[in-house]
Amino acid sequence: MSLTPYSILDAGDRAIVIEFGDTIDRGLNACVNMLDGALMAAAVPGIVEAVPTFRSLMIHFDPLVIDRGHLISRIAELAGRLTVTIGSARQWVLPVCYSDEMAPDLEAVSVATGISVADIVELHCSITYHAYMLGFLPGQPYLGDNPPVLTVPRRPVPRSSIPAGSVGIAMAMTSIFPRATPCGWHLIGRCPVPMWGENAPSEPLLRANDQISFRSISNREFDRFCSRLAERRIELTPEGLANESYG
């Protein structure tokens, strides 16, 4: 399909926002990522950085190299040649431990939804999530869409700090928090795979448009994974993680 019509918003005199809509939608998100990729491939002089979000792309530019009018014309030229496809992406299988000590809100989510803890874990591992964007913390993915029965509001009182690797849900999203941080999401598990930082690649592990599914592991398997990771015996690639035994 062709690129969705977009609007252009100014963000100061050194950035513009290409906005494709006002909803969280995989089709709109595909347009964002396709245009982002096209701009990177074209290496347009004067573009400093492009920041993709759920439904828009902020483009920072150097006005001494490229003016606003020329930049908008270049974007229109690239957008006119794009054909948007959905589904061509890296496929990840990430382990998550849903044990009591790593999932302090799992019981509360069970009470709120009327679903047993075991069924929540099964549901959360039953679908493939779409990485809409990275944000808030370096390397933090916003993954959608949760099963409708697991759509819950944020906690009324945020925690002052949560452990790195915490897996949280809020509204229709799941996220993996790369480092300790204040957080108002419901914590239902913990992932031992580093999103960014120590023992991780020098860039974010995940990127927008990746497809992610979760695999439930035990405390013992979680600890074994962490030990193997510290020994650099685990390949942090989609293929490496998919083939990891965790036994």
Say whether both 67 and 105 belong to one domain.
no
210: left (phi over 0), alpha (psi -120 to 50) or beta: beta
Question: Total domain count for the chain?
Answer: 2
Say whether both 128 and 108 belong to one domain.
yes
Which is it for strands 129-134 and 141-144: parallel, antiparallel or unpaired?
antiparallel
Taking a C-beta distance cutoff of 8 angstroms, is the pair 214, 120 a contact? no
Structure confidence at residue 174 (pLDDT): 98
How many residues would you count in the chain? 247
Domain presence at residue 74: yes
E strand or H helix at 111: helix 106-113
Domain presence at residue 247: no
Domain presence at residue 85: no
Say whether both 143 and 38 belong to one domain.
no
Domain carrying residue 23 = 7-80
Alpha-carbon gap, residue 171 to 151, rounded angstroms = 5
Per residue in 210-240, pLDDT (tens digit) is 999 999 999 999 999 999 998 888 999 999 9
Strand boundaries in the chain, DSSP class E:
7-10, 15-19, 47-52, 56-61, 91-97, 129-134, 141-144, 159-162, 166-170, 173-176, 181-183, 186-190, 211-217
Taking a C-beta distance cutoff of 8 angstroms, is the pair 214, 94 a contact? yes
CATH of the domain at 39: 3.30.1360.40
Q: Whole-angstrom distance between the N-terminal and C-terminal Cα of the chain? A: 44
CATH of the domain at 150: 2.40.100.10
Say whether both 227 and 155 belong to one domain.
yes
Structure confidence at residue 3 (pLDDT): 79
Taking a C-beta distance cutoff of 8 angstroms, is the pair 183, 166 a contact? yes
CA 164 to chain centre: 15
Last residue of a domain, one of 80, 111, 128: 80
Phi, psi of 176 (to 5 degrees): -115, 120
Structure confidence at residue 198 (pLDDT): 63
Say whether both 140 and 50 belong to one domain.
no
Alpha-carbon gap, residue 84 to 27, rounded angstroms = 8
Say whether both 228 and 157 belong to one domain.
yes
Domain presence at residue 20: yes
The token pair that represents 245 in the structure block: 């035994």
Structure confidence at residue 196 (pLDDT): 85
Say whether both 138 and 208 belong to one domain.
yes
Phi, psi of 189 (to 5 degrees): 175, -175
Say whether both 145 and 235 belong to one domain.
yes
Q: What is the CA radius of gyration of the chain?
A: 20
Say whether both 229 and 130 belong to one domain.
yes
Domain presence at residue 165: yes
Residue from 139, 184, 144, 147 nearest 165 by CA: 139
The token pair that represents 131 in the structure block: 């990485």
Say whether both 142 and 229 belong to one domain.
yes
Last residue of a domain, one of 60, 80, 100: 80
Say whether both 237 and 128 belong to one domain.
yes
Say whether both 203 and 157 belong to one domain.
yes
Structure confidence at residue 64 (pLDDT): 97
What's the pTM value of the predicted model, to 2 decimals?
0.89
Q: What is the pLDDT along the chain (247 residues), one digit of tens a residue?
A: 667 899 999 999 999 999 999 999 898 999 999 999 999 999 999 999 999 999 999 999 999 999 999 999 999 999 998 887 765 689 999 999 999 999 999 999 999 999 999 999 999 999 999 999 999 998 999 999 999 999 999 999 999 999 999 999 999 999 999 999 999 999 999 999 999 866 566 689 999 999 999 999 999 999 999 999 988 889 999 999 988 887 7
Domain presence at residue 96: yes
